[in-house]
């Protein structure tokens, strides 16, 4: 608590606090004084990290200060910035800057620490230090929340502070708030999302312009979309971090990053993008969290989606999350999933939310994962071998009579039926053709066995390419 605060409980508000201490000992929750009591003059924030998002946050806070303050009901002041960068993409004016980010976590003047440095090492120490010092935290760090969120929320609960993380998932889309608060009446059955802007940008450019994978990735890095380590984007780790967070909010389960099945987009070939289109599908890198007979599926992988689905038409760096609740039915949330100001938009929304509730009794704030911490469920997460989907298969096969029949026989023996087939002409001088099949839904382990048998046939060559198919119906 800052010096001079009149508030008698553990809010962490600073010296400008107007909150009236109720002499009855009810710590300000006397309804007679609450109109005045709920107003703080100012909330002081410390921003750690001045990269793409940090600079974006400073710029938006300064440009829209009047509107933001009018919404928050108090002045949001940047008291201090902790950053190593000498030339940030924002004007810091006379804001105090330190190269030691822990100075910000220890600064008694600061109510809210905004962690925008990323990663799970220094950022983790910083967040725990801020919590220990009774500060609320706003973070855009999906890896930190997905991997250490359970411990972080426990520590925050103990200190009566809040850790807000809207910017951690889907950049500028307020999807955390939508699931945690807007859909709180629903039993959520499943959700599916395009939750990595870089990956979606790459797949879109490959499809629309026939561009090369690595060339598009380079552009995504220059535009500030990609993670510091871009394999996080293309191998699905970033999407898995985000999916874990969404699943916990949707199903009331602890964060379990180690249980997500993750497959990247780096092996998607241009010919699969083309064949998918010929079959009426688009390939998207999808995160899926779904209930399945008392268990839960958590998976990130390239997915064929019927082109008539709205989510199949989400292109470029845009993200979208489709959430199916039993009361509301399907709802779709769409917007920019990365970039300086879209992500800053979510960071600042969290700051405003915190400024509004800084004086609320910690027990009556919105719980971190939407469910009360003692109400989280221990639901089994299924291994991918038990998951049921349809499949796109591309098989390199000898161009000879009876080959297609042999392949479909293997599938039929595994009780897998074929929905669609394309056979391409062999190239000049080639004796092998590409056979493309779309199967009905089956449990993955049965498809694994069938694929092994197809690969063992004398009339096929190389590995079968397989991509999961979801109708999202």
By the criterion CB under 6 A, which residues form the site for ligand HSE? 171, 196-198, 225-227, 233, 238, 337-338
Per DSSP, which regions of 152-294 are E strands? 163-164, 188-194, 261-262, 281-292
Alpha-carbon gap, residue 331 to 283, rounded angstroms:
21
Residue 153 or 225: which CB sits closer to ligand HSE? 225
Residue 196 or 439: which CB sits closer to ligand HSE? 196
CA atoms within 13 A on the CB side of 453: 15
Spot the catalytic one: 44, 242, 259, 284.
242
CB of 166 to ligand HSE, least distance (A): 12
Residue 19 or 257: which CB sits closer to ligand HSE? 257
Question: 437, exposed or middle or buried, with CB in 10 Å at 0-12, 13-18, 19+?
Answer: buried
Q: How many Å separate Cα 392 from the centre of its chain?
A: 26
> Which DSSP state fits 226?
S
CB of 207 to ligand HSE, least distance (A): 17
Alpha-carbon gap, residue 122 to 169, rounded angstroms:
21
| Phi and psi, residue 200, nearest 5° | -70, -35
Residue 299 or 394: which CB sits closer to ligand HSE? 299
What is the four-CA torsion angle of 409, 413, 416, 422, rounded to 10 degrees? -10
Strand ordering across the sheet containing 112-115: 96-98, 75-82, 42-48, 112-115, 136-139, 163-164
The helix (H) or strand (E) run that includes residue 419 is strand 418-423
In the residue annotation, 157 being an active-site residue is answered as no
CB of 264 to ligand HSE, least distance (A): 13
CB of 340 to ligand HSE, least distance (A): 11
Place of tokens 């967040």: 127
Question: What residues contact 87, with CB distance under 8 A and at least 6 apart?
Answer: none
Residue 196 or 359: which CB sits closer to ligand HSE? 196
CB of 304 to ligand HSE, least distance (A): 21
Residue 37 or 146: which CB sits closer to ligand HSE? 146
Q: What are the structure tokens assigned to 84, written together? A: 């190593």
CB of 196 to ligand HSE, least distance (A): 4
Residue 38 or 198: which CB sits closer to ligand HSE? 198
Residue 349: count of CB within 10 angstroms of its CB? 20
288, 297 in Cβ contact below 8 A? yes
Per DSSP, which regions of 314-386 are E strands? 318-325, 329-336
SS3 label, residue 91: coil
Q: What are the structure tokens assigned to 377, written together? A: 């469920």
Residue 167 or 433: which CB sits closer to ligand HSE? 167
CA–CA distances in Å: residue 412 to residues 398, 415, 418, 450, 458: 20, 5, 8, 9, 19
CB of 238 to ligand HSE, least distance (A): 5
The 3-state DSSP composition of the chain as helix, strand, coil percent (nearest 5) reads 40, 25, 35
CB of 57 to ligand HSE, least distance (A): 14
Q: Which residues are catalytic?
A: 242
């Amino acid at each position: 608590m800052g010096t001079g605060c009149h508030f008698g409980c553990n809010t962490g508000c600073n010296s400008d606090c107007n909150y009236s201490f109720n002499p009855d000992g009810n710590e300000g929750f006397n309804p007679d004084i609450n109109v005045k009591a709920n107003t703080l003059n100012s909330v002081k924030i410390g921003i750690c990290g001045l990269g793409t998002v940090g600079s974006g946050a400073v710029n938006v806070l300064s440009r829209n200060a009047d509107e933001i303050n009018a919404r928050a009901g108090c002045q949001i002041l940047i008291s201090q910035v902790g950053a190593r960068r000498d030339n940030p993409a924002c004007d810091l004016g006379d804001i105090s800057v330190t190269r030691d980010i822990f100075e910000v976590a220890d600064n008694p003047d600061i109510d809210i620490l905004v962690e925008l440095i990323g990663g799970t090492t220094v950022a983790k120490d910083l967040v725990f230090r801020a919590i220990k010092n009774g500060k609320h935290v706003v973070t855009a760090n999906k890896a930190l929340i997905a991997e250490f969120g359970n411990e972080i929320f426990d520590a925050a609960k103990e200190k009566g502070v809040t850790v807000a993380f809207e910017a951690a998932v889907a950049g500028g889309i307020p999807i955390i708030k939508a699931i945690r608060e807007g859909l709180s009446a629903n039993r959520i059955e499943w959700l599916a999302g395009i939750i990595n802007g870089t990956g979606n940008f790459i797949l879109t450019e490959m499809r629309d312009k026939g561009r090369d994978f690595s060339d598009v990735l380079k552009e995504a890095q220059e535009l500030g979309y990609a993670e510091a380590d871009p394999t996080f984007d293309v191998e699905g780790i970033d999407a898995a971090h985000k999916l874990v967070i969404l699943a916990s909010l949707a199903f009331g389960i602890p964060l379990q990053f180690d249980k997500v099945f993750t497959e990247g987009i780096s092996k998607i070939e241009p010919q699969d993008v083309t064949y998918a289109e010929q079959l009426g599908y688009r390939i998207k890198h999808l995160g899926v969290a779904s209930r399945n007979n008392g268990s839960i599926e958590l998976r990130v992988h390239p997915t064929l989606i019927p082109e008539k689905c709205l989510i199949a038409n989400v292109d470029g760096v845009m993200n979208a999350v489709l959430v199916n609740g039993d009361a509301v039915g399907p709802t779709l949330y769409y917007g920019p999933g990365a970039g300086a100001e879209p992500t800053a938009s979510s960071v600042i929304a969290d700051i405003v939310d915190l400024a509004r509730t800084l004086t609320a009794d910690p027990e009556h704030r919105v719980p971190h994962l939407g469910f009360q911490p003692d109400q989280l469920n221990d639901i089994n997460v299924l291994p991918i071998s038990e998951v049921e989907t349809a499949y796109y298969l591309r098989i390199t096969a000898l161009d000879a009579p009876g080959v297609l029949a042999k392949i479909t026989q293997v599938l039929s023996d595994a009780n897998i039926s074929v929905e669609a087939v394309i056979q391409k002409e062999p190239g000049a001088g080639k004796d092998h053709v590409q056979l493309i099949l779309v199967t009905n839904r089956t449990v993955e382990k049965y498809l694994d066995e069938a694929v092994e048998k197809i690969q063992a046939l004398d009339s096929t060559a190389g590995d079968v390419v397989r991509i999961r198919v979801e109708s999202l119906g």
